[in-house]
Amino acid sequence: MATKEKQKRTPQQKKKIAGKVLLGILIALLCIIAIITAINTICVASCKNYIKSINPVSYSSQLTPEEKNDYTTFVTDNDFRVMQLSDVHIGAGFMSVKKDNQAINAVAAMVAEEKPDLVIVTGDIAYPVPFQAGTFNNKTGAVIFASLMEKLGVYWCPAFGNHDTEAYSYFSREDISELYSNRQKYPHCLFQSGPKDVDGYGNYIVNVQTSKGEITQSFVMLDSHSYIDNDYFGIMWKYDCVHKNQVEWYEQQIKALTKINNNKTPKSLMFFHMPPQEMLTAYNEYKENGYKDTANSKYTGGKAGEKDLVVYPSEKNYGLFDKCLELGSTKGIFFGHDHLNNFTMLYKDIQLTYDYTVDYLAYVGINKYGTQRGCTMITTKPDGSFESKAENYYQDKYTPQKEKETVSMEDFYTDEEKGHK
């Protein structure tokens, strides 16, 4: 029986078929993107609607900053209270919406209870990691948090962290800086992009002064950048730090403030995201001395919860800490980044403090643990001194609008995993 010979396709026919296949793939991808975008929009709306339901902080008498000598300045003859928050990690996508609302719930509860004069956020407000958040859009996370602060009616200062503007995220530091600088939309955000000839975005200073004009405290905000040595995605943990010309800018600012302050060097506190190398030096000195204080290094409280190195600073150091020692102004440096650390070291008489973090999202399973979640409350005095206290979110005094989630108050890592105290 005769069989038909299989006809060979012509090059034109093959091109036509290939074109249809590619078109089909493109349409499928566009449909997937459209569906994810729609779901993300719904999820973001959920966060925004929750923020709308939150009550503003009830202040008996709220301080309002003024512009004095080209610096944003709070005027008071009394104590000034700062709340430090860090690593809020709002994903702003369909995969993170539940955890985003938990973070909003926690922040709102702590701010409402403490009624700080100022909130300082030391980086990683947004977390646009697609396999955990479901989006590359880092601007939406920033918008959600800025909207929360605005609804609470609290003045706040953000610094950038490594996750706020990932290499793969949609928006740059410049873009997010423009967002935070929009005083019409976010009048409570005191962010400034900083000088264009100084590296980074968000190098700025906020002062506290008495009614007689004496500066009692300066809050120095710095950009500690993201990654170095071609570690564009942060997978090698090669972290950046405060750069040399930022250190020079800091020195210039302290000297300028000294002139304004009747040639008296003002006291200052410093805030940025990445832990400085000196924190690792201080901790190792303490550890190698059998977990006992040394002449230079004193452990003053909190928990070292990370494993292995414990402290994960940059491999580079441009002399910021040494400049602090030289100028004699800065007596406290506050940072975040390592989510399971909330301890303080006094190193060469400068306080180095890890903040509690808010994170429900970044560390896998961290939403089920509570020992690392909270804030640091800092009280500055009219004489220039200050006190700080770590406050865990799961204390009874914090009563959020939505019920607190059930968490374990055990350490995230076991003692065996940590290999340290």
Q: How far apart are CA 326 and CA 328, in angstroms?
A: 6
To which H or E segment does residue 320 belong? helix 320-327
Task: Return the H-helix or E-strand segment holding 143.
Answer: helix 138-152
Q: CA–CA separation, 71 vs 266, rounded Å?
A: 14
Cα dist from 161 to 30, 284, 367, whole Å:
32, 25, 20
pLDDT for the residue numbered 160: 98
Q: Tell me the C-alpha distance between 214 and 101, whole Å.
A: 42
- Give whole-number Cα distances, 419 to 115, 226, 298, 306, in Å: 39, 28, 20, 10
Spell out the domains of the chain, with CATH numbers in brackets: 15-418 (3.60.21.10)
Which has the closest alpha carbon to 330: 248, 413, 265? 265
pLDDT number for residue 274: 97
H or E stretch at 75 = strand 71-75
Where helices occur in 181-292 by DSSP H, the ranges are 244-260, 277-288
Count the alpha carbons within 13 Å of 231 in the hemisphere toward its beta carbon: 15
Dist. CA 160–CA 34, nearest whole Å: 30
First-last CA distance in the chain: 85
Q: Do the Cβ atoms of 83 and 110 come closer than 8 Å? A: yes
What residues have CB less than 8 Å from 213, skipping those under 6 apart?
A: none
Picking from 396, 404, 381, the residue whose alpha carbon sits closest to that of residue 80 is 381
pLDDT at 397: 98
The β-bridge relationship of strands 297-301 and 66-68 is unpaired
- pTM listed for this prediction: 0.92
Question: Is 358 in contact with 89 (CB distance < 8 Å)?
Answer: yes
Predicted local distance difference test score (pLDDT) of residue 345: 98
Rounded distance between C-alpha atoms, residue 130 and residue 267, angstroms? 42
Distances (CA, A) of 278 to 243, 297, 300, 311, 348: 15, 10, 16, 10, 10
According to the model, what pLDDT value does residue 398 have? Answer: 98
Single out the residue of 171, 111, 107 nearest to residue 139, CA to CA.
171
Residue 144's pLDDT is what? 97
For residue 67, the cross-strand partners are: 72
Residue numbers of the chain with a pLDDT score lower than 50: 1, 421
Strand ranges for 266-306 from DSSP E: 268-271, 297-301
